[in-house]
Amino acid sequence: MKNIPLLALKLLLGIYIAFCLIIAALNYAVAPGASARTAEIISNIWHFYENEFKTGLILAASVLSLILIKKNERNVMRRKNYIGFLIAALAVHIIGPVITGTKELYFFSMPLPWSSFSIQVFNPSTSFHHSFTSHWGLSGIGALLVFVVIYNIVIFAGTLLFGRRLQCSQLCLFNGFASEVFSETFPLLGKKKKKAGSRLKTFFSIMRVILLAVAAFFTLTAALSAAGIITESNNSLLHSLESYKYLTTELLMAMFFWVVFTGRGYCHYCPAGTVLAFLSRAAGQKIRTDLTDCIECGRCSRACPMSIDVKSFAAEGKSVVDFNCVGCGHCVDVCPTATLGYSTRFLDYIKSRINNEEASQTP
């Protein structure tokens, strides 16, 4: 009986991957050459998958994951992750489409430079522009520009306050949500793998540099195209190249890691995550290891989905400051002695203020 929730969770992940592959094939291979009616049907299926289906999936997978982990772990951090992703999904996939009348808001739910889709909508020569103007008109496009700017400011400023955890472990609706709500199932096939070795880490490091450079290039060219500096023909070519990049190095590669290795494989080289990693350094993001005494059990290192050797830091009483840390809090939850704690300079300041106020009220 105890394996039923795990089997159900694995089944959900398998269904999600299968549907994703089928719908991607329909949308990118079939729809462009299909009749208007067929293309519309494919679009409706795609939108249902990206919105209602994904939101229901996050809810169901979160419940199953909590059932699996609640007996042995405090899971405070992970429970907050699930709540964050569910709120984000409801806002982007359910409430937002109802209010705005368009089901493609998820194109704007990732910070720059993850993709240039949120910039292409302002270019009159793109399909994104025509799609959104048909719903909102030119005034709506202006409102969307304000939203995109505010959204990115909120994410970047929020990261400077709360660290990379905000986006990568609570709001990301691309790979972040899947890596958290399905964390107990990875890899989907076979037994749990050992942590990433030196060769795989080198591969991730190379991919990080390449993907960041490529994403920055597409973002810059999309901005130049929207400004009329790049011609429509060049813009179409760049859009095709970016779509190919998304399908191969991001969507398919992310799912490949889900099946054979870990849920956070893509997070090692996500271009948006790379930018946020630099900001999290500026925020003073760290995992404290001095709240109690470390017993060197190693559970923290085994729990880390980013292959960080947390135990080696904790054994010496040093804070974990690592470029790969996404702030998921798995290590914090599994620590049997509550030695670990997630923090940033801003969070430390808030805790200090609270402690001082409590101390001043003590007779």
Partners of 287 in beta bridges = 320, 342
- Window from 52-66, 116-130, 153-167 with minimum mean pLDDT: 116-130
Q: Last residue of a domain, which of 228, 260, 278?
A: 278
Assess if residue 53 is contained within a domain.
no
- Cβ neighbourhood burial of 194 (10 Å; 0-12, 13-18, 19+): exposed
Residue 208 has pLDDT above 60, yes or no: yes
Q: Are 161 and 143 found together in one domain?
A: yes
Residue 304 has pLDDT above 70, yes or no: yes
Assess if residue 16 is contained within a domain.
no
Q: Which two tokens stand for residue 108?
A: 């704007």
Q: Return the pLDDT at 71.
A: 60
Q: Are 265 and 193 found together in one domain?
A: yes
Q: Domain containing 317: what range?
A: 284-361
Q: Return the pLDDT at 168.
A: 97
What integer is the mean pLDDT of 4-26?
Answer: 93
Nearest C-alpha neighbor of 177 from the set 263, 306, 105: 263
Q: Are 270 and 347 found together in one domain?
A: no
Residue 173 has pLDDT above 90, yes or no: yes
Nearest C-alpha neighbor of 254 from the set 325, 326, 197, 173: 173
Q: Return the pLDDT at 55.
A: 95
Residue 26 has pLDDT above 80, yes or no: yes
Assess if residue 63 is contained within a domain.
no
What integer is the mean pLDDT of 183-188?
Answer: 92
Q: Which two tokens stand for residue 20?
A: 């994703």
Contact 266, 224 (CB under 8 A): no
Q: Return the pLDDT at 122.
A: 78
Q: Which two tokens stand for residue 23?
A: 């719908």
What integer is the mean pLDDT of 198-204?
Answer: 90
Q: Return the pLDDT at 73.
A: 63
Q: Are 148 and 212 found together in one domain?
A: yes
Q: Are 301 and 269 found together in one domain?
A: no
Residue 269 has pLDDT above 90, yes or no: yes
Most confident of 111-115, 136-140, 158-162: 158-162
Contact 321, 285 (CB under 8 A): yes
Q: Return the pLDDT at 27.
A: 86
Average pLDDT across the chain, whole number: 89
- Rounded to 5 degrees, φ, ψ at 286 are -160, 160
Most confident of 37-41, 139-143, 287-291: 287-291
Q: Are 335 and 237 found together in one domain?
A: no
Q: Last residue of a domain, which of 278, 298, 315?
A: 278
Q: Last residue of a domain, which of 243, 278, 313?
A: 278
